[in-house]
Structure 1
Amino acid sequence: MEKKNIIIHEKINIGISACCMGSPVRYNNKGWDMLQNLGREKQDFNWCPVCPETMSGLGVPRDPIHLSGGNGAMVWTGEAIIKNRRGRDVTEEVKLGSIACLETLKRAEVTAYVYMDGSPTCGVYRTSLKKQKRGNPPGIFGSVLLDEELFLIPASDLQSPIKWWDWRRRLLAFHWFRSLEMKNKDDLYKAWYALKFLCQEIDDTWARDMGRKLADLGKISEEEISSIRKEILEVLRKPSTVKKITHSLWKNYSYYRKTRGETVEGIHSPDFRRNVTTIAKELLTMERTAFEEGVFFATSPVIYRDKRRMPKVEPEDIEMDEEIEATLRGELPEEE
């Protein structure tokens, strides 16, 4: 089967907690520019900032709020409430603000959302900023984001080059696969073939089980395709680890050398000691070099390129032989 990176040209729309984009909308009239470290790459996405608390009409500055009696999901069922520091019940206001933000994100057709963990509204896994307390996660708006099955990115991870690289490549794959039209088994299997090496890196046992499941499929219904799509999307939401990413980089570099017969300056083996910033630079170098040479970079199967920056000739399809595919699976001894 022919392999090449999937190139998308449309910018992905990403929702973001407004305080993380520098807007001074927190209760204390402050905010953080969490996108600053992305540099020019920030321009590769369309950003839609929202703030459930200001959309609630609570104003800036305001008394801080907290969940009482349960988590954010329980607020929607009436089992918990939201109070401010003075004990005033602001549940209905915050619910209306959350609904208004969700409507905005739907109009913007966002694929992902960058959330501020520790917030009683936008927090997903924490609703308290106190070091030893998680609060009552998820927050009221965080529970809505989970229900919408968006690709959720913690704002703090935008500060780490390698974590952002991991989120970005999985987001691109998530967006492409979620919007891909699939009518039959062949469509599904072709899509899986593009994503399987990334999925194997994230969860190898699950990915191999999924591969066998797809290989054994007969005629498949739309409901089964939808169910499998949902399962794959769920895996793409899961972060990888530095160790897994580093080994995946080396496997893909080995594939590049076998394909092109060339080396790339600055790419090191997994046992070479360096910091995560250096690893992130190696990943970007390998990603760019593979794209320019028309070589499939399996660990980052979907890439975004502005049409204005595209070369005149698209990279050619590369057909992988069994040895190359085994290298990407990590089943052959790798060159030192």
Structure 2
Amino acid sequence: MHEPTLPHKPRIAISACLTGHNVRYNGGHKNSDLCREQLEAHFEWQTVCPEVAIGLSVPRDPIRLIGDPDNPSVVGTRNPDEDFTAPLRRYGEQMAGELTDICGYIFMQKSPSCGLERVKVYQANGYPAPKGGTGAYAAAFCARRPDLPVEEEGRLHDPVLRENFISRVYAYADWQHLRAQGLSRGALVQFHSRYKYLLMASNPKAYRELGRLLGTMRREDDPQVLGQAYFSQLMQALRRPASRGTHCNVLQHLSGYFKDALTQQDKAELQHIIGQYQQGEVPLVVPLTLLKHYLRKHPDPYLEQQAYLHPHPDSLGLRNAV
């Protein structure tokens, strides 16, 4: 069993205000204890503030979204004639093309430039529309990088969403490492095999579809082209957070590998603990710890390579709370 082994820490882009930079309109920051104290040791930050990057000063008049929530404009709050929509969108497209080595992006929520969803979009009557919008920079960036794991800092305080996002970041980094080494038919099949149970926990239907995609691979198919189609579908599938039910399904599959190796007492204990997890009495780390214990006693090369058992470093403690 191995934790993710990468040549360097994954690089994550992050709104600069979340790392303590005084770049907000009021001259302050939104320093994130979660990012700085829990995540920073495991990742390299690439800080970005699009508002400062397009030339806005610190401090500055605030900006806001107005108009159609599906395609809002970004204007000055005090002077609505100041329109920053085009510069922010251009910068989003520019950074999407430049930040080729990042494996994820953490955005500042509620921001008219960086918010991913539910950002207030003001109407002519002065009130926000019932439906929120997306910040102009974030919308342009994400449109160009649809496979990249992205999340808002506020949503990362939900343990399930945090574990899902970090799992996707490491999967993205793993794929980047594989591509750097060179894609081949065999490497694609091996990569998919590693992600079997992580996919099954997030999206069993997508696991079957991706298996069929690779199963119909022909000798003349270009691994680069097929690989990109595969990876895009993989990253979309992994966006769905696993539930207790789908985790239990995977835990049962994993326990099946030990059916001939364990005593009846050991099997009963394992089933009892999986049941406790299903009822919400213990976190996921408890049945997984027991399964890993049995795997050390009864090694199985196929199980040992599974990303599901180590989708991210254990020291992050992400499965202690899900």
In structure 2, the partner of 1:86 is 78
In structure 1, the partner of 2:26 is 28
Q: 1:169-248 alignment to 2 at 5 Å?
A: 169-181=167-179, 182-219=182-219, 220-221=221-222, 222-236=224-238, 238-244=239-245, 246-247=247-248
CA contact (8 A) 1:119 1:126 kept: no
The answer for unaligned runs of 5 or more in structure 1 is 75-79, 307-336
Range 58-67 or range 189-198, more displaced? 58-67
Range 166-175 or range 221-230, more displaced? 221-230
Q: C-alpha distance in 1, partners of 2:283/2:116?
A: 28
CA contact (8 A) 1:287 1:300 kept: no
In structure 2, the partner of 1:309 is none
In structure 1, the partner of 2:255 is 254
Q: 1:1-336 alignment to 2 at 5 Å?
A: 7-36=5-34, 39-70=37-68, 81-92=73-84, 95=87, 99=91, 103=95, 106=98, 109-128=101-120, 133-149=130-146, 150-181=148-179, 182-219=182-219, 220-221=221-222, 222-236=224-238, 238-244=239-245, 246-247=247-248, 250-251=251-252, 254=255, 261=262, 268-269=274-275, 270-274=277-281, 279=283, 282=286, 296=304, 297-300=306-309, 302-304=311-313
CA contact (8 A) 1:71 1:138 kept: no
Q: For 2:105, what is the secondary structure of its paired residue?
A: strand
Q: C-alpha distance in 2, partners of 1:22/1:250?
A: 40
CA contact (8 A) 1:162 1:279 kept: no
RMSD of aligned C-alpha atoms? 4.0
Q: For 2:74, what is the secondary structure of its paired residue?
A: strand
Which has the higher relative contact order, 1 or 2, with Cα contacts under 8 A spaced 6 or more apart? 1
CA contact (8 A) 1:81 1:91 kept: yes
Q: C-alpha distance in 1, partners of 2:231/2:198?
A: 15
For this pair of structures, how many residues does the alignment match? 293
The answer for unaligned runs of 5 or more in structure 2 is 122-126, 316-322
Q: For 1:16, what is the secondary structure of its paired residue?
A: strand
Which amino acid in 2 is paired with 1:209?
E
Q: C-alpha distance in 1, partners of 2:119/2:199?
A: 30
Q: C-alpha distance in 1, partners of 2:37/2:105?
A: 19
Post-superposition offset of 1:120: 1.2
Q: C-alpha distance in 2, partners of 1:34/1:292?
A: 38
Which amino acid in 1 is paired with 2:113?
T
1:58/1:213 CA distance change after superposition, 3 Å: closer
Q: C-alpha distance in 1, partners of 2:250/2:90?
A: 40
1:304/1:243 CA distance change after superposition, 3 Å: closer
TM normalised by structure 2 equals: 0.72
Identity %: 20
Which amino acid in 2 is paired with 1:239?
R
Which amino acid in 2 is paired with 1:250?
L
